[in-house]
């Protein structure tokens, strides 16, 4: 069978190795780190475990597995939790989060949100209105934002790629029209879950993922938002690597790749920092965007216009920071059974109390550390460019100690409220802190971050490459590669790895089954709306809401009522039913006065 060298041992690289090894390929995986999993790996705090306990479990950030992570979950379902034993598989370590909450600075209460199924356009609007009512936003804010959400949901793929890819999410949502209070939430909410900056990220990307999160949150069932039932490496990555070794994958750790040599229009070999080199039939570059950018030489760029575009791009403008910090507590503070969002925190924090999901491992203080630690709050810091409240500097300009002080202060401000007698977090609870090891302070401030995340600026899709490069024996795998997922995430990396595998299977004329790839899914009841918008876009016309002059509608629900009046139907559901059985696009457009 052909041999393949995979440069990069993160989720993308391990996915490539898994899929190819199952199909009989000889696979070598190389990584500059000495541990596997890339940004997803655990970061045990050295020397903290005593008397047979594991070291305290640090991480790059907490793990989050929403419903639409189909590729990652499928990979888990094919990985035994115990080497050599078929069942259970590692997906059985996932734990459902049955609650979510929002904690506002200086408010007396948190806001918990339940889920219910959405079946119709009205349901989307009603769910958003209820959400905003709980957060005490005014009707004008609620109506406009609800309208924009429904506009995106009912937009065709052609409009999303042709129009929304050129806009920021902020501009699409008309962010400047909202009250200052909602503007703060609009800036912060997308950043609390994934590395999405509404002023920097394209409306197409942020809109598509936001729709997945909104719809997932509202759906019934408990698998919409899951976390891991223990440290990521222990519960998933270590069993995964063990499975790959049993399939014959060979791992080479601790030596960075320095160059991809070219000869006769192909990759001839890979060179490493220790002076060694290795050759194979095919190569997969599965390193992060910044590392890939550094390895694209003029020789490589000359062979592939996509690599040339990527090489010419300004990587600093394409990436942002989302970095984790863990607070180890003497006693557990569960908060809610899920994620807590702090949308008005200057650094866009999100937290989860993890020991409540790790019960099957045993009592936390008996499993980790020195026996004193009973709780763990894992925090993602998503905004590194806004001055803090307690340390009035950007996170990038802070020392690790100052970051600890500011994040802890922001958490207390949001969780403790105004009641001094019922404090959720106190300084006496704090045992120790771990900051993501991928922040390198060796050269001073600001630190070097080796785990930047793509933020998908407008028109960045044009810069990003496909998994199959124009070089006949080179493929790319990473969350910056073009995918359906289109998100800097484990899921995006996993899908990109599968696309690279399929390209290799095609190039080797393999008869093996191709790796499964799934698109993002939106409710079927949106399809008639999207078909109508596709017809409008083809005619060079704006979205229906804009055609009807509803850009600044005061009541979002009026959009549907006025739409029904124009079409001559008393109920939008009647129109949807008719549209499903016959193509009425031209008739409808004519009645709306659209040619």
For 208-243, b/e burial (b = at least 16 CB within 10 A) is bbbbbbbbbbbeeeeebbbbbbbbbbbbbbbbbbeb
Is residue 107's pLDDT more than 70? no
With bands split at pLDDT 50, 70 and 90, how would you rate the model's confidence at 572?
Answer: very low
DSSP H or E segment with residue 186 = helix 180-193
Please give the angle made by the CA atoms of 120, 126 and 127, to the nearest 5 degrees.
Answer: 95
Query: Three-state DSSP class for 62?
Result: coil
Is residue 460's pLDDT more than 80? yes
DSSP H or E segment with residue 3 = strand 3-7
pLDDT at position 247, please? 97
pLDDT at position 437, please? 94
pLDDT at position 517, please? 98
- DSSP character for 514? P
Query: Three-state DSSP class for 193?
Result: helix
Q: Is the dihedral of CA 129, 130, 133, 134 positive or negative?
A: negative
Is residue 203's pLDDT more than 70? yes
Is residue 417's pLDDT more than 60? yes
pLDDT at position 580, please? 42
Does the predicted model carry a pTM greater than 0.85? yes
Average pLDDT estimate for 203-225: 75
- Strand 349-353 and strand 375-381: the pairing is antiparallel
Is residue 514's pLDDT more than 90? yes
pLDDT at position 529, please? 82
- Per mean pLDDT, which of 115-119, 407-411, 560-564 is the most reliable? 407-411
Is residue 575's pLDDT more than 50? no
Residue 251: both structure tokens together: 């791992």
Summarize pLDDT for 3-25 with one digit per residue, the tens: 999 999 999 999 999 999 999 99
Q: Which residues contact 42 (CB under 8 A, 6 or more apart)?
A: 57, 58, 59, 231, 232, 233, 234, 237
pLDDT at position 100, please? 75
pLDDT at position 411, please? 93
Query: Three-state DSSP class for 185?
Result: helix
Complete domains list, the chain, with CATH:
3-34+253-314+456-508 (3.50.50.60), 116-221+523-592 (no CATH)
Is residue 332's pLDDT more than 70? yes
Q: What is the Cα–Cα distance from 399 to 441, expressed in whole angstroms? A: 8
Q: 3-class secondary structure for 343-397?
A: CCCCCCEEEEECHHHCHHHCCHHHHECCCCCCEEEEEEECCCCCCCCCCCCCHHH
- DSSP character for 568? T
* Of 218-232, 282-296, 537-551, 563-577, minimum mean pLDDT range: 563-577
pLDDT at position 191, please? 58
Question: What's the mean per-residue pLDDT of the chain?
Answer: 86
Q: What is the Cα–Cα distance from 356 to 369, expressed in whole angstroms? A: 17
Summarize pLDDT for 218-237 with one digit per residue, the tens: 554 455 578 999 999 999 99
**Residues of the chain above pLDDT 90, percent:** 59
Average pLDDT estimate for 17-35: 97
With bands split at pLDDT 50, 70 and 90, how would you rate the model's confidence at 66?
Answer: confident
Q: How far apart are the first and last CA of the chain?
A: 58
Average pLDDT estimate for 372-387: 94
With bands split at pLDDT 50, 70 and 90, how would you rate the model's confidence at 123?
Answer: low
Which of 99 and 381 is assigned the larger pLDDT? 381
pLDDT at position 424, please? 87
Summarize pLDDT for 239-276 with one digit per residue, the tens: 999 999 999 999 999 999 999 999 999 999 999 999 99
With bands split at pLDDT 50, 70 and 90, how would you rate the model's confidence at 98?
Answer: confident
CA atoms within 13 A on the CB side of 364: 24
pLDDT at position 215, please? 74
């Amino acid at each position: 069978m052909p041999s393949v060298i995979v440069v990069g041992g993160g989720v993308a690289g391990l996915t490539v190795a898994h899929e190819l090894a199952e199909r009989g390929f000889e696979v070598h995986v190389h990584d500059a780190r000495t541990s596997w999993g890339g940004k997803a790996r655990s970061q045990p705090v050295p020397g903290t475990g005593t008397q047979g306990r594991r070291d305290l479990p640090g991480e790059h950030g907490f793990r989050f597995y929403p419903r639409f992570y189909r590729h990652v979950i499928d990979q888990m379902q094919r990985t035994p939790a115990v080497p050599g034993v078929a069942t259970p598989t590692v997906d059985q370590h996932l734990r459902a989060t049955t609650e979510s909450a929002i904690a506002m600075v200086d408010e007396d209460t948190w806001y918990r949100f339940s889920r219910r199924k959405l079946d119709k356009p009205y349901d989307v609007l009603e769910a958003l209105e209820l959400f905003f009512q709980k957060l005490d936003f005014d009707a004008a804010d609620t109506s406009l934002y609800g309208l924009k959400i429904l506009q995106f949901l009912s937009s065709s793929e052609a409009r999303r790629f042709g129009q929304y890819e050129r806009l920021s999410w902020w501009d699409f949502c008309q962010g400047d029209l909202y009250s200052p209070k909602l503007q703060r939430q609009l800036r912060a909410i997308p950043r609390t879950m994934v590395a999405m900056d509404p002023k920097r990220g394209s409306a197409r990307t942020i809109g598509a993922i936001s729709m997945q999160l909104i719809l997932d949150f509202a759906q019934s069932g408990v698998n919409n938002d899951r976390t891991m039932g223990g440290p990521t490496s222990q519960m998933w990555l270590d069993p995964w690597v063990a499975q790959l070794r049993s399939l014959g994958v060979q791992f080479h750790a601790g030596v960075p790749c320095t160059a991809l040599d070219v000869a006769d229009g192909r990759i001839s070999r890979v060179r490493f920092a220790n002076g060694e080199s290795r050759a194979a039939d095919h190569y997969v570059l599965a390193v992060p965007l910044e590392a890939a950018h550094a390895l694209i030489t003029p020789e490589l760029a000359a062979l592939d216009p996509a690599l040339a575009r990527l090489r010419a791009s300004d990587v600093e403008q394409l990436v942002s920071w989302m970095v984790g910090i863990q607070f180890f507590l003497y006693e557990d503070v569960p908060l809610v059974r899920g994620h807590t969002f702090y949308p008005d925190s200057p650094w866009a924090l999100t937290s989860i109390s993890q020991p409540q999901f790790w019960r099957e491992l045993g009592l936390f203080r008996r499993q980790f550390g020195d026996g004193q630690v009973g709780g763990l709050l894992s925090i993602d810091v998503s905004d590194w460019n806004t001055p803090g409240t307690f340390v009035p500097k950007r996170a990038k300009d802070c020392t690790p100690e100052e970051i600890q002080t500011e994040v802890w202060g922001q958490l207390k401000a949001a969780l403790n409220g105004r009641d001094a007698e019922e404090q959720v977090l106190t300084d006496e609870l704090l045992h120790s802190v771990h900051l993501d090891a991928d922040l390198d302070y060796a050269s001073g401030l600001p630190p070097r971050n080796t785990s930047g995340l793509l933020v998908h600026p407008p028109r960045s899709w044009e810069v990003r490459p496909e998994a199959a490069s124009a070089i006949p024996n080179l493929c790319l795998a990473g969350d910056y590669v073009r995918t359906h997922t289109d998100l800097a995430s484990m899921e995006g990396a996993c899908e990109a790895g599968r696309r690279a595998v399929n390209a290799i299977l095609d190039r080797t004329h393999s008869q093996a089954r191709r790796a499964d790839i799934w698109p993002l899914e939106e409710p079927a009841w949106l399809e008639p709306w999207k078909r109508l918008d596709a017809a409008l876009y083809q005619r060079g016309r704006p979205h229906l809401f804009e055609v009807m002059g509803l850009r600044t509608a005061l009541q979002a629900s009026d959009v549907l009522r006025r739409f029904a009046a124009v079409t001559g139907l008393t109920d939008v559901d009647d129109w949807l039913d008719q549209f499903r059985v016959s193509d009425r696009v031209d008739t409808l457009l004519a009645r709306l006065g659209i040619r």
